[in-house]
Every structure is written in C-alpha cells, then in structure tokens.
Chains A and B, each alone.
Chain A
Amino acid sequence: MTSTPKHDLESLNRRLLMERSVPGRVGYTLPPLDVPEQEGPPAEMLRDDLPMPEVSEGEIVRYFSQMSQANFSIDHNFYPLGSCTMKYNPKLDDEMASMPGMSEVHPRQQEAGVQGALKLMYQLQGYLAEMTGMAGASLAPMAGAEGELAGMLMTRAYHLANGDTGRKKVLIPDSAHGTNPASAAMAGFDVVPIPSDEEGNTDLAALQAAVGDDLAGFMLTQPSTLGLFDTNILEVMRVVRGAGGIVYGDGANLNALIGLVKLGDLGFDVVHSNLHKTFTQPHGGGGPGAGPVIAGERLKPFLPAPVVEMSRGPDGTERYTLGAPPQSIGKMGAFHGNFGALVRAYSYIRTLGDEGIRSVSRDAIINANYILSQLRGYYDLPYDRHCMHEVVFSARNLKRAHGVSALDVAKRLIDYGVHPPTMYFPLIVEEALMIEPTETESKETLDYFIDVMKTIAQEAAESPDLLHDAPHDTPNTRLDEAAAARRPNLRWRP
C-alpha cells in the first residue's frame, strides 16, 4: 500500500475528540452568574480534574459532519434491510415532534398543563388498537424488545391472576428474532423452539406435541421472518388457545398487514408495534424507537402504566389523565414512553388516514414480490411461494458453485450504492439474504437493484474475488471483528 495524501487526510479527520483537545479552546458560551454567589460545598466533595475535551465549535461540527458522511442512510439510497422496514421517514413528522410545545414539555407537569400531549397519546392508543383489532394499548415500551417483554410479563400476570402457577413454557418458532426468546426468558419463562414445516409455516405436529397444561403462550411473528403469511394461523390459534395459552404477535412485520388484516381478528391476544418500522420514526443509527404494546380484552387489564384515559366534564369538555390499568404489570421506564416517536407516528397515521394506510401493505407486498419474481433463478428460493412484504433468498447456489457467500454478495452491493440486505437471518435458511424493499421505493429503484443483483450473480461466476474483496470504495474495507472481540478496545485512553 502506498500512502497517498488522501489517506493522511482521512486519518487526520478520524482523530478522536480527546486527541483534538487543546487546553483553552471552548465550544460554548454561557451567561454570567446573575445571583449572589453562594457558599460552596465542602472541598472534599469536589472533583480535582475533569478530563473532558476542549474543542472549538467549528471543529466539532466539521468532525461530526465528516463522520456522518461515512454513513449509509435511507435518505441517501435504497436500504432493503430485511425485517427492519427501512422506509422513507417523512420530514413533516420530525418538525411536528420538535415544536417547542412538544419537545420542551416536562414529563412531571400537572395534567392540566399537558392536555395537548395527552390527547395525542390517547388518540394514538386508539389508532393502534383499531388498526390491529385490539381493545387497548399502552405506549410505554421504548422499543420493540421492551414491548415484547411487556407482552410476556402481561402473559405471566394473566396466568398468575387465574391462579395458574404452573404455566412456565413459551413456544417460539425457530425462525423468530433473537429478541423473542430473550424477552420470554427475561419474563421468567422457559423457551421451547418450534420448527417450521417445509412450506415455512408453523409445524402443526410439533406444536400439538409441545402444548400442555404448562403452556404459557406462543410468540408468533406474522408474517414470519421468512416473509411468508403463516397459512396454519387459524389452526395454531385453535391449538394454543385450546391449551389455555396466550398468543403473542411480534409486530416487527406489521408493515405487511397494516390496513389489510387485523391481528386481533386472527386471534392474537397481544402484539407490539415497532413505531420505528411501520410508523416511520427514523432509526437514528440504532434508536430511538418505540414499542407500544396492544392487547385484546383478555390482557388489556394487565397493560403497563401509564395509559392515557379520557373523561368528560359536566359541560362535555374532554379531560385527559394518566392512569394505570387495574392489574398493570407496572412501569417500563421512568416516564410515559418515547413521546417524540409517538408524535411522529401520530403525524404519519393522520397524513395517510384510512385510505392511505391501505396503500402501505399493498405496495410493500407488490414491491417484494416483484423482486422475488425477477431474481428467481439467479438466487435460490428456499420457499418458492408468494411472499408478503419481504423475500428471503439463499446464496447457497453461488456458494456451492463459486465459493461466494451471502456476505460477499452483501458487501458487493455496497459498491453499487445499495445497502446490503439482512444476512444469515432467519437462522433456518442457509446463506440467507433477506430483502425488504418497503412501499416507499419506486419501480425504477427496484429495477436498478434487480439489475445489480443479476450482475453480482454473474460476477460470482466470472470474477469471484471482486466479491470476496468488496466493498472497494468505502472509508474502511472489511473490518477484523474477531480481533475486536478478542482484545476489546472500547474507549479512548490517554
């Protein structure tokens, strides 16, 4: 490797804040003390040194701006990351959430002073319950996994309230997200995996064999992480409910169903919704999200606190208050959930309305099936049937023929300006490539992606090293993850 001036600049630009720090530089201004100086605390309570950076404002802005340009983002290009629903995030929603009347409101204010915020939350609870066919919602959980935990704790509380202390087992399909078994375990349950059948549906025989009077519930993602609508769903409901179990719906794939079918109508007792997937809260490089939990009649009394309640005064005026359901599992966070995300979801739902919300799942499903149909034959299709909002291919054909893996395909996509799909998930598909286009992509974008994927399949045969060495033009080539885990370097040190 020859060292070019460009590379020197790159390493200069990547210096950490503490390395840029120069004594005497400041990046802020603050007003003078306008009250009489008070007696200070005892000296032994004070710290001797505050080893924080000293950097000027312009340097900070330039540093972080350069850093940001090393990121791929949905505003930048196509991001078909399966199961993550990387759809366009409306700018209007950001503006609504940052109005001072929303962003400056303190969570401990008296209810009389926050009626607008509470009204918005009340209406959002209602919209989410309506779209999922449920009886009530709590907006408290701060991400999908916390919504899952809430749902599992509600399941536990429901059985305990019935004096049913022996229900310790939660069944989870082998295709499920890792959060499902982790959440069930956090709620104190024993996790039993249920296999998928050759069509990608819940294996009914295995399910029958697993249910008994120790069954607490079944956590099901519908459509499944294979992107398939589980056609055994009504039979699954009959079996699980017949054994006295609760059916939990992981709302990660709600984008496939919204406006098309209500999970409550199918028999689900409780679901969560990732507002950062279906309802456009930006992902922020790993959150914030929001994971409201939405329950049918059986589990509604156990919803986490708070929930917003509405009553009417003698003159008919609406009054909103924060309350707790009668048998609530308790609080999921210090305050009322990720309110900023709630404002965005409200704004999004109101923009689309009853008519627009149906276009979400319709276009998401058409887009995914279009990709499926055009790439069939280039990549293996472990389950060759119509998909819902995402399609799972396997690169095992390329691996066997040319020694090119799903990882190589994913990294080569970066060279073409497309974000990689989700790789190696679900775990039951060898060399999985999970592609979720979402409804916000145009046919032209999909056609570009399809062309690129075909080209990559051809490159795999003709020049596999192009793929092994990809990506080529990014700030870093492939990184040594094994070394990072072996000798963790997790912070700057002097």
Chain B
Amino acid sequence: MQDGRFTSPYTPNTDDDRRRMLDAIGVRSFDDLIADIPAEHLNPHIDLPPPTSELELRREIGAMAEQNAAPGDYACFLGAGSYRHFIPAIVRSVATRSEFMTAYTPYQPEVSQGTLQAHYEFQSLVCQLTGMEVANAGMYDGATSMAEAALMAARVTRRDRVAVLDTVSPAYRQVLETFVDSQGIAIDTLSPGSLQIGEGTACLLVQQPNFFGYFEEMEAMAEAAHSAGALLVVAVDLTSLGMFRPPSEYDADVVVAEGQTIGVAPTFGGPYVGIFACKQRYVRQMPGRVVGKTVDTRGRDGYVLTLQTREQHIRRERATSNICTAVGLIALMTTLYMSSLGKQGLRRVAELCYHKAHYAASLIERIPGYSLPLSGAYFREFVVQCPKPVAEINDALLERKIIGGLDVSDQAPNGMLVCCTEMNTKEEIDRFAEALAEVANQ
C-alpha cells in the first residue's frame, strides 16, 4: 500500500515510469492509447474481492486446504484412474527448477535444449517401458489420449466407427464420446465376451487391466481387431508394466496411458500427462508434439521439435489434432520418476502393489457379507461386493479416517472398487478390513 493505493508486487513500473513512457510514446494519457475501445464499455465495474497480502492469502488458502480430507492423514483405497504412489524427492526438486518450470514450448531450440532433451528422454523411456516403437511428447491426460487414438485410427483406416469395450473406464468412454461424435464417428460398445467387430470399424479400444482391475485376454482382442482390419488401441496401466507383459507383445498398434501413476501427485485430477505411443508406420499420423535428434551447424548433436507439418500451427484445419500447449512439465516429472525407480524399482513397486492388493482381497473376502464377484487375474484393484450400499459404508469409513474404494454400484451390485498401492501399510489394510466388518453390522 502506498497512500492507500494497492501496488502490485508483479508490476514494477511506477507512476513516474509510466509518465516518462507515455511522454516518449507521445500521448498525454493512457486513455489516448485505448481510444479504439468503445468508450461505453471501458473500465466496467469488476466485482472482485480487494487485493490480499501474501500472509493473508496463505491463511485463507491454507484454511481451504484443511477443509479437504487429504490422503496421508487418511488411509486411502481409491484408485479408478488416479493412483497414489510414492514419489522420490528428486522428482519435485528437479522438475520445479525454474529453468524447466518457467520456460515456454521449445520453439527456439538453441535456448531450449534442456526441455528438448528431457522430452526426448521421455519419448525414449515410454518406448522402453511399453515396448512400442515411437511415442510423442505427451497429451493432456489418459482419457484424451485414448480419444485422440480413436481419431488417429479413423484417419489411418479411413473408417468411421470405433469399438470400445464396456470394461473401459466410464470417464474415458465419456471423453471419447465428446471427441468423436462431432466428427461423425459412431461408437459401438462391446463386452469382452462378444467381440463382433465389423469391417467398417477403425479400432478396438481396450483397457489393460480393465477399469475393474482385471486383465483382459489380449491375444483374443488383437485377433478380433486385426482380422477385421481394425487397429488395437490399448490403455495400459504403466505401473503394472514393471511386472506384466508390455503391450508390444500382444501386437497393440497404439498404446495410451495415464502418466499420473508414474511420478505425479493426484492433485484432485490434474495436471496429468497422457501417454501416446504407436507403431513406427503411424508416426506421421500421430497427434501432439514430437522431439527428434539432429545436428547443428557445427555437427554437434541436438534436439528439435519435429514432424511439425502434422500440427495446427502449420497445417491449420487439416492438422492431426488441435493440441498446442500440452503438459511438458508433467512429462518431465514422469521421466524423473522412471529414471529414479529404474529397472529394479519399477518392478519392485509393481510387486508391492500386487501383493498388498491380493492381501487386502484375501482379508475382505473372509468377512461375512463381503465377496469378490469377479474372477481372474488382477493387479492392484479389485471389486468387492458389499452387504449394503457403498455410499453408507464409505460415510462410516470416513468417520474412521479411511477413504474407501470407489462406489461402482451402477455397474456391479453394491460394488466397491478397491485399490492398494505401496502407500498402504499392512496396518492400514488390516484397519480397513476391520472397519468393513464393523460397518457391515451397524
């Protein structure tokens, strides 16, 4: 405050600076600069709260944060597309370096080699983990990545139907609908047991493991898709790939994934990063940014944004996608996570998840009234059939400082989708099982 007036800490120029600049411009006042704006609409009343100091704002937003039941204080068994995993300190420490954080998209490669090389590392490690031939530098999230894969399949095959399994995340299927409907692409929803794929179908979209946590029979999926001339698009769980077969082994054409599981905090749903990888032959139909290796005028290695003729700033309405700003920093976080965990750690995390989830399931299925309605192999999520409405159970769990699994009773009677990761201790899992037993009888 100066003389009762608010001075923004983010705008350095003073009244005196402005006066000198306006004089240099050759106008009498600021209003002369904005004479093009219709006067009747100028300087409207704006109903915003008054300026707030840093100290006050910390208190205010801190109070809002305290109104949230943050996992950590609570034992959390929620997954369903966003997962709590341990994130080594270096992920945050390095990714928040302001050289990475406050740089723009690397349009000027000579001053962006940090971002560019990090993106190239990201593309490389995504290929190593998924077994796929090429990857882009990232999409907004897993769901939009899958929708863009469907659009790419339609371009590649010149077909206008896509088939999606009903075991794919409902949220992903809703985003798919938003993206393809306006382009005249029809969606056929199939169940894994009856894979009727017509000749006009561009792709089959499968989630592995599926939304309920269970593994699909991927050879059958690939056979069904490919025999109809359709592409196989698989949404994989990256954490599971520390242990389970990569999608290249069952001949996936396009692999998408939610990158949040490898190094990004849940953050109430975003920002995350969508993984997009495919076979080499589709590289020029990929959406999104791609970094390539090249040489400079002195013959030294360096990196640039490449294959840009696919993109909106060159191709405009004929671009492969409208995507521009994506999620470079989040891709960097996942790169740091993959570097840190590496060959041994990624496997170890997957094993911890697997054994803890199966331990939790073994306790829960022994509780009277609870059962596991689905059979087959699963990774870190499974469906529990509860003796009463899941909403009631979750309310009672919350009072015990436990965040229960997702209510999926719209898809399985009294179904709760339970998730365990390495973040859940044995003590938490035991307490969860005891609490489930208690609340069943309340």
Contacts and interface: CB of A to CB of B under 8 A. Distances in A.
A116 B311 contact: no
Interface centre among A274, A340, A372, A440 (most CB of B within 10 A): A340
B102 A481 contact: no
Interface in A6-30: 7, 10-11, 14, 16-18, 21, 25-28, 30
Nearest to A95: B58
Given A34-B426, A477-B110, A109 B69 contact: yes
B54 A283 contact: no
A159 B389 CA distance: 41
A282 B301 CA distance: 28
B306 to A, nearest CB: 4
A49 B96 CA distance: 32
Contacts of B269: 107, 333-337, 339
A480 interface: yes
Interface stretch (B118-126, B192-200, B222-230): B118-126
Interface stretch (B38-46, B156-164, B367-375, B434-442): B38-46
B141 A148 contact: no
Nearest to B328: A286
Q: How many A residues are at the interface, by size bracket?
A: 35 or more
Interface string B88-119: 10101110111111111111111111110111
Contacts of A372: 25
B356 to A, nearest CB: 6
A198 interface: no
Contacts of A304: 178
B97 to A, nearest CB: 5
Given A479-B294, A481-B306, A331 B175 contact: yes
A186 interface: yes
A337 B74 CA distance: 24
A334 B141 contact: yes
A179 B98 contact: no
Nearest to A157: B182
A67 B112 CA distance: 9
B292 A484 contact: yes
A356 B182 contact: no
Interface string B71-85: 110101010111010
Nearest to B344: A26
B51 A287 contact: no
A149 B253 CA distance: 27
Contact of A100 (B10, B57, B65, B246): B65
A408 B39 CA distance: 41
**Interface size class, chain B:** 35 or more
A419 B105 CA distance: 12
A452 interface: no
A283 B61 contact: no
A114 B113 contact: no
Interface in B4-59: 5-6, 8-13, 17-18, 20-22, 24-27, 30, 32-38, 41-44, 46-52, 54, 57-58
Interface in B358-399: 358-359, 362, 377, 394-395, 398
A119 B60 CA distance: 12
Nearest to A306: B269
Contact of B178 (A70, A87, A283, A332): A332
A28 B292 contact: no
A490 interface: yes
A50 B242 CA distance: 7
A124 B64 CA distance: 13
Contact of B103 (A34, A74, A116, A183): A74
Interface stretch (A204-212, A359-367, A457-465): A359-367
Contact of A31 (B134, B308, B329, B422): B422
B392 to A, nearest CB: 12
Contacts of B338: 52-53
Given A367-B13, A491-B123, 19 more contacts: A60-B340, A74-B102, A75-B101, A95-B58, A100-B72, A106-B76, A114-B69, A116-B63, A116-B64, A142-B144, A145-B323, A179-B312, A287-B325, A334-B272, A353-B6, A354-B51, A485-B308, A485-B309, A491-B120
12 contacts: A11-B300, A14-B117, A34-B426, A52-B128, A75-B98, A112-B398, A116-B66, A178-B312, A276-B325, A287-B325, A355-B5, A479-B295
8 nearest CB pairs, A to B: A101-B65, A335-B269, A284-B329, A116-B67, A286-B328, A107-B269, A288-B271, A353-B51
